[in-house]
Amino acid sequence: MIVALGAAMLLASAAVGIDLGSIYLESRKLQGVADLAALAAANDIGRAQTAAEATVAANGLGGATRVELELGTYTPDAAIPAAQRFKVGGASPSAARVRLHSQARLAFGAFVMGKPTVAISRVGATAQTQLASFSIGSRLASLNGGVANALLTGLTGSQVNLSVMDYQALAAADVDLLRYVPALATRLNLKAATFDQVLDTEVSAPMALNALADVLTAQGATREAGSIKVLANASASVPNLKMSHLLDLGVYGDQDRAAGGSRATISLSSLDLARALLLTGQEGRQVALDLSAGVPGLLKADATLAIGERPNNSPWLSVTADKGVILRTAQTRLFIELDTSPVGAAGLGFAQVRLPVLLQLAEGRARLDSINCATGQVGIAASPGIGRLVIGEIEKGRLGNFKSELTVSPARFVAVPLLSVTGQADTRVGGDAWRTLTFSQGDIDGRVIRTASTRDTAQTSLSSLLGNTELTVNLLGIGLTPLKSGIVSSVNQTLGSLAGPLDGTLNGLTDLLGVGLGELDVRVNGLRCRDAALVA
């Protein structure tokens, strides 16, 4: 009796063991299929449900298995609990979670449980790696050699005299940042340092520029490398800087070499990089510029450029999937003083007309708006910021104090004994509204630059501002109306003759500075959509 009872218990235990083993094996198979279905869904977001169901069917589970799909986004942050990293929904989903519901067959347990199967379910979660690199302030469409030389001479503190063809060649020569940073590490003699460690090391401007020349030389761009070496030799007085203030390589920062093949590239113009490097080195300073080559026929053409400091953690170029990363241009002020001989002023008692112009630009901003790997599109939200163009006098020593507004007084166009001609005009454009710029894969490959503009940029030319300037003539109480009329006519003609050339100079300067009045330029430097991978 005891033997029979023991045998029965042994057989029951064996039956339970067989069923548990069967359930375990079927659960493992279901988990594998759930993972495969999630991978298929994440790699084909537009047809995610169809892709997941087709994968389930292809693995022999068929119609008896119910497929439950959720699309959303995944944040790979160890500081976030694993259960909270997957967020359902979103305008541009890049992750998939698939839950499979099925039945595991019972061999012997059916006699105990009264049913031939038991319900099982498994979950698979996957996410694409979606990264976009983008930069702001990249407009170099029409290069003016004289203006470019004046700006770079001011920024480096030494005479720079490159030709228009030199600048055009630099603008056309792209470099890959994932090649540039190792070249910089070599110059710094850093061994086995990550990209972030290299960028966070203080470096001189000549060393940073010579590393750029090394990359260009390796690419066979010897002319462009020679031009960069000219800038390197001229920039000894530029303060040292950390390239991390300029470049944020995101997930690539932990690498010490380029990985990922041809898809892992972050391309940008060598002139863009050189210009941004020199501007970053001069943040918080005032720079004197000589613009006499830009506006011919002048007695004097002096300018003072003040470059504000960008907020911390606001680079010029970023590689990210985070929509919270905001790129910013530095606040910029430019004060220009022009002296020229008057037109038609014979016998009117003055031999010189002065034109003071202030250009003031708040920070422009750009952030990632969307990545659509299915279509190869990147959306960038951009805000040009508020700009101001003024004809008037300021206290030049306060130009670089961005913590306070500048007080503007009427411009003194003519100031001689017994006679003064004054006037003032002021226009403001722009605002804080965000505008979305869309870049296709063709745009990215073709180095296309898109501009976010405010609706009031027609007001931003000096010509239109001068047309709204009312002149006040003071002859120390002498009421000679015909003489006043002649003076006004002469001054208006003189200022009108300056407007066109000065507009060109202003545009050339703002283009090179990477800023604009009521405008912000954006370039997407790269897009990487890596195949989906399993996530926790």
Task: Quick: pLDDT tens for 46-72.
Answer: 898 999 889 988 888 766 788 999 998
Q: Quick one: average pLDDT of 477-504? A: 77
- Enumerate residues 6+ apart whose C-beta is below 8 A from 340: 297, 298, 299, 352, 353, 355, 494, 497, 498
Q: Quick one: average pLDDT of 16-43? A: 80
- The pLDDT value given to residue 314: 76
How many C-beta neighbours within 10 Å does residue 249 have?
25
d(CA 519, CA 264): 30
Q: Flag whether pLDDT at 133 surpasses 60.
A: yes
Q: Flag whether pLDDT at 145 surpasses 60.
A: yes
d(CA 337, CA 498): 12
DSSP 87-152: EE--SS--EEEEEEEEEEE-SSHHHHHSSSEEEEEEEEEEEEEEEEEEEE----SS--HHHHHHHH
State the pairing for strand pair 317-320/247-248: parallel
Q: Where are the domains of the chain?
A: 2-115, 145-284, 294-528
d(CA 19, CA 9): 15
- The pLDDT value given to residue 409: 94
Q: In what side-by-side order are the strands of the sheet with 419-423? A: 411-416, 419-423, 472-474
Phi, psi of 461 (to 5 degrees): -90, 150
Q: Rg of the chain over CA atoms, in angstroms? A: 33
Joined together, the tokens standing for residue 256 give 């010490």
Taking Cα atoms as reference points, which of 64, 152, 59 lies closest to residue 102?
A: 64
Kindly report which listed range (10-24, 280-294, 357-371, 463-477) carries the lowest average pLDDT score: 10-24
Three-class SS string for 9-27? HHHHHHHHHHHHHHHHHHH
| pLDDT tier at 107, thresholds 50, 70, 90 | low
- The pLDDT value given to residue 114: 60
d(CA 184, CA 334): 32
Joined together, the tokens standing for residue 117 give 């199967």
- The pLDDT value given to residue 473: 86
Return the bridge partners of 86, or none: 74
- The pLDDT value given to residue 10: 53
Helix (H, G, I), strand (E, B) or coil at 418: coil
Q: Flag whether pLDDT at 356 surpasses 90.
A: yes
Taking Cα atoms as reference points, which of 83, 303, 270 lies closest to residue 183?
A: 270
Helix (H, G, I), strand (E, B) or coil at 311: coil
Angle at 35 between CA 32 and CA 38, to 5 degrees: 150
Kindly report which listed range (87-101, 167-181, 303-317) carries the lowest average pLDDT score: 303-317
d(CA 23, CA 102): 11
- Max mean pLDDT range (81-85, 287-291, 352-356): 352-356
Q: Flag whether pLDDT at 142 surpasses 60.
A: no
Phi, psi of 491 (to 5 degrees): -65, -45
- Max mean pLDDT range (191-200, 244-253, 478-487): 191-200
Q: What is the pLDDT of residues 157-201, one digit of tens each?
A: 899 999 889 988 998 899 999 999 999 999 999 988 999 999 999
CA-based torsion, 479, 481, 486, 490: positive or negative: positive
- The pLDDT value given to residue 394: 93
> 80-83: long-range contacts at Cβ-Cβ below 8 A with a sequence spacing of 24 or more?
82/536
d(CA 351, CA 335): 23
| pLDDT tier at 18, thresholds 50, 70, 90 | low
Joined together, the tokens standing for residue 66 give 């119910």
Is pLDDT larger for residue 13 or for residue 525? 525
- The pLDDT value given to residue 97: 93
| pLDDT tier at 227, thresholds 50, 70, 90 | very high
Whether residue 99 contacts residue 123, with contact meaning beta carbons closer than 8 Å, is answered with yes
Whether residue 137 contacts residue 513, with contact meaning beta carbons closer than 8 Å, is answered with yes
For the chain, the distance separating the N- and C-terminal CA atoms, rounded to the nearest angstrom, is 53
| pLDDT tier at 111, thresholds 50, 70, 90 | low
Q: Flag whether pLDDT at 9 surpasses 60.
A: no
Helix (H, G, I), strand (E, B) or coil at 255: coil
Mean pLDDT across the chain: 83
Is pLDDT larger for residue 106 or for residue 199? 199
Q: Quick one: average pLDDT of 283-309? A: 82
d(CA 43, CA 59): 18
d(CA 507, CA 401): 24
Q: What is the pLDDT of residues 383-429, one digit of tens each?
A: 887 888 899 999 988 898 888 888 999 999 988 887 888 999 988 87
d(CA 392, CA 117): 87
Joined together, the tokens standing for residue 447 give 């180095």
Q: Quick one: average pLDDT of 31-52? A: 88
| pLDDT tier at 277, thresholds 50, 70, 90 | very high
pTM comes to 0.74
Taking Cα atoms as reference points, which of 484, 57, 501, 438 lies closest to residue 293?
A: 501
Q: Flag whether pLDDT at 12 surpasses 70.
A: no
- Burial class from Cβ neighbours inside 10 Å (0-12, 13-18, 19+) for residue 431 reads middle
C-alpha dihedral, 395 to 396 to 402 to 403, nearest 10°: -30
Joined together, the tokens standing for residue 306 give 């003040």
Is pLDDT larger for residue 214 or for residue 473? 214
d(CA 328, CA 314): 6
Is pLDDT larger for residue 428 or for residue 367? 367
Q: Flag whether pLDDT at 32 surpasses 80.
A: yes
- The pLDDT value given to residue 429: 77
- Max mean pLDDT range (14-18, 45-49, 502-506): 45-49
d(CA 7, CA 11): 6
- The pLDDT value given to residue 199: 94
